Amino acid sequence: MANPAFDQASSNREASRGYAWWFSGNTFARAAADDGRPPRKRTPIQHLATHPGSLTIIYFMVLVVVSTTMLLIPPATPPGETTTFSTALFTAVSALSTCGISIVNSTTHWTLFGQAVLLVSVQLGGIGVMTFASLIALAINHHMKSTQRLLTASELGTSKLSEIRGVLTVVIATTMFIESVTFVALFPGLLGVNRGDWRTSLWESLFFAVMSYNNAGFTPDTAGLHVNSWAVGLPIMLSAFCGTLGFPVILNLLRCARRRLPPRRWSLHTKITLMATGIIVAMSLAWFLLVEWDNPFLFKDADLNTRMRYAMVAAVMPRSSGFDLTWVPQVSEPTKVFMSVIMFIGGGSTSTAGGIRVTTFAVILLVSRASFTGHKDVNAFRRRIHTNVAMTSVSITSTCLLLVLVSSLSLMLVSGASLTDALFDSCSAFGLGGYTVGLAREDNPAALAILAVTMVVGRLGPMTIAYSISRPRTLEAVRYPTEPVVVG
C-alpha cells in the first residue's frame, strides 16, 4: 500500500501541501536500501545533479570564470586598450547577472568580440541559471531528479511536475520569439539612426534586442536608449517591460488569449503581478513628472510631449533595465531614495529582473492589511494565499533588507559615500537595475567586489543559496506548544 504522505493524487494534494515529492528521492533511496539492494555508485557530477542549489552556484561561477577570461584576452579590446582583472570580473558578473552596470565605455573599450562576449553572457543569465542547470541535469540523468524539480518549479512558477519539461521548452522559445520581434522592430529605426549602415544596424538591433528583454543596461553605442528616436526607444522599452513580467505571467496570458478567456480567469499570480506592476509604473511616472519637472538634466528645454516620453522611460527603466545613465547622478536626493525602493522591489517573479519581486512586495502588503483588519486569512481577488507563501515573502524581504543594509554600510566605509548614494548603488546591484551614481569605478576594487557579491545574490536569489546550504531532509514530526510573544 502506498504511503499517503507521498501520495500526489488530487484527493491528497491539500494534505501533502504539494511538498511530498520534495522528499521522495531520499524516501525511495531508503526503501531500496531496506530491500537489500546495493546502492548504485554515482559520479561526482551525478551527485551534484541531485543538489540543485549547489549545481546552480557552481554553474554560475564557471560562467563567471569563462566570461572573465574571454574579456581579458587581447581580441576583446582594441589595440592600446588594457583591461584589469577587477574590471573584467566585475563586467562578467554584471553581464551574467543581467544587472548591466558598466564601469568602462562599452563602445570604445570593447571590440566586436568583447561585445559578443557580453551579449552571450547576458543571454545565458537572462534565460536563467536555473533553466540551464535543469537542462544539464536532464542531459546527465536523462530525467529530472525530484530535488532538481523543486527549485526549477519555483524558478519557473509552476507547481505541476509534469509541466516542467514543457515549461523549459516554452521559456526558451518565448525568449527567442520576443527577442526576434524586438530585433525586427528595431532594425528600421536603427538603420535611420546609422544613416543606412545596415551592418552596424543589424548588430545593434541584435544587441539591443537581447539587452532589453534581459533587462541589462549595456549598449553597443554611446547614444544609450535613443529616447529622441521613438522608433528605437519604444521597442526597447516594451521589450524590457515584457522581460520584467516573468515567464509565468507571459505563459498564462498566452494560454488565456489562445482559449479566449476573460481577465477574471487569469491566475492569481498574473493578477497580482500586473496590478502591482501597473501601480509601481504609474507612481514612478507621477513622481518624475512632479518632483523632477524642473530638472534640466532630465527635461532640458523640453515640451510637454517630450517630458511625457522622458518621464515614461524614467518610470519603466529604473526597475531593472539601466539604459541611459547620463541623467541618473543629477536627480534630487529624494528621487535617488525613491529609485532605490523601486529597484529593491524589482520586477515579476522568475523574470529577467531582480529585487524581491513585485509579488513578494504585494504579499507583504496583503499580510499587513489582514493584520490591521483583524483577519486570519490573507486574501486577494477572492482567493486565499497560503501561509507558506506569506512566510516565504517575509523571510525573503527580511533577508534582502539585511543584505542591502550590509552592502550600503560597506560601500560607505570603502568609498566614503553618503548613505543615499551607497543605498542607491546597493539597491541597483541587488535589484539588477544597472544604474550607478559613481561608486562603481575602476579605481575602487573594494567597492566593485561588494557590488559584485550583491549582484550574484540578487541574480541567484536568497532561496537558491539557502537551499544549497541546508535543504530539508526529513518531515517535521514534532510540533511544540505555542506561547505568546509580545511584539510591536
Q: pLDDT tens digits for 378-415?
A: 999 988 998 878 888 888 899 899 999 999 999 999 99
- pLDDT higher than threshold 80 for residue 168: no
DSSP string, 11-70: GGHHHHTT-GGGGHHHHHHHHHHHTTPPPPP--HHHHHHT-HHHHHHHHHHHHHHHHHHH
pLDDT digits (tens, 9 = 90+) for 89-113: 999 999 998 888 888 888 888 999 9
User: What secondary structure letter does DSSP report for 382?
Assistant: T
Query: Residue-wise over 10-22: b if at least 16 C-beta within 10 A, else e?
Result: eeeeeebeeebbb
Please indicate, yes or no, whether residues 199 and 187 belong to a single structural domain of this protein.
yes
SS3 75: helix
Judge if 22 and 152 occupy the same domain.
no
Residue 217 is assigned to a structural domain of this protein: yes
Distance CA 415, CA 290 (A): 32
Q: How many percent of the chain have pLDDT more than 90?
A: 28
Verify that 34 and 46 share a domain, yes or no. Answer: no
My answer on whether 339 and 315 are in the same domain is yes
Is 474 a member of any domain?
Answer: no
Of residues 58, 68, 129, the one with CA closest to residue 93 = 68
Q: What is the pLDDT of residue 484?
A: 81
Q: Which structural domain, as residue segments, surrounds residue 456? A: 42-469
Paired with 378 in beta bridges are 385
Does the residue 478 lie in any domain? no
pLDDT surpasses 60 at 163: no
Mean pLDDT of the chain: 79
Give per-residue pLDDT as tens, 259-314.
Answer: 898 998 898 989 999 999 999 989 988 898 888 888 887 776 777 777 887 788 77
- Position 477 in a domain: no
Q: Would you state the pLDDT for residue 1?
A: 41
In a domain, 475, yes or no: no
Q: Using CA atoms, how far apart are residues 377 and 392, in angstroms rounded to an integer?
A: 15
CA distance 469 to 459: 17
Same domain, 273 and 416: yes
pLDDT reported for residue 255: 85
pLDDT at 47 over 50: yes
Cell (9 digits) for 177: 520569439
The answer on 215 and 87 residing in a single domain is yes
Q: What is the pLDDT of residue 9?
A: 44
**Residue 374, pLDDT score:** 87
Question: For residue 218, is pLDDT > 60?
Answer: yes
Strand 378-380 vs strand 383-385: parallel, antiparallel, or unpaired? antiparallel
**122 confidence band (pLDDT: 50, 70, 90):** very high
Question: What average pLDDT score do residues 332-350 get?
Answer: 90
- What does the pLDDT read at residue 51? 59
- Is residue 221 within 8 Å of residue 193, measured between CB atoms? no
In a domain, 72, yes or no: yes
Alpha-carbon distance 310 to 301, whole Å? 12
In three-state secondary structure terms, 385 is: strand
Whether 406 is in a domain gets the answer yes
Least confident of 62-71, 153-162, 390-399: 153-162
* Contacts with 145 (C-beta within 8 Å, 6 or more apart), sequence order: 25, 49, 50, 52, 137
Does 374 share its domain with 465? yes
Instruction: Quote the number of domains for the chain.
Output: 2
Same-domain status, 13 and 60: no
Q: Is 120 a domain residue?
A: yes
Q: How far, in Å, CA of 298 to CA of 284, rounded?
A: 14
**Do 162 and 240 sit in the same domain of this protein?**
yes
| 34 and 57 assigned to the same domain | no
- Looking at the structure, do residues 5 and 129 belong to the same domain, yes or no? no
Same domain, 17 and 96: no
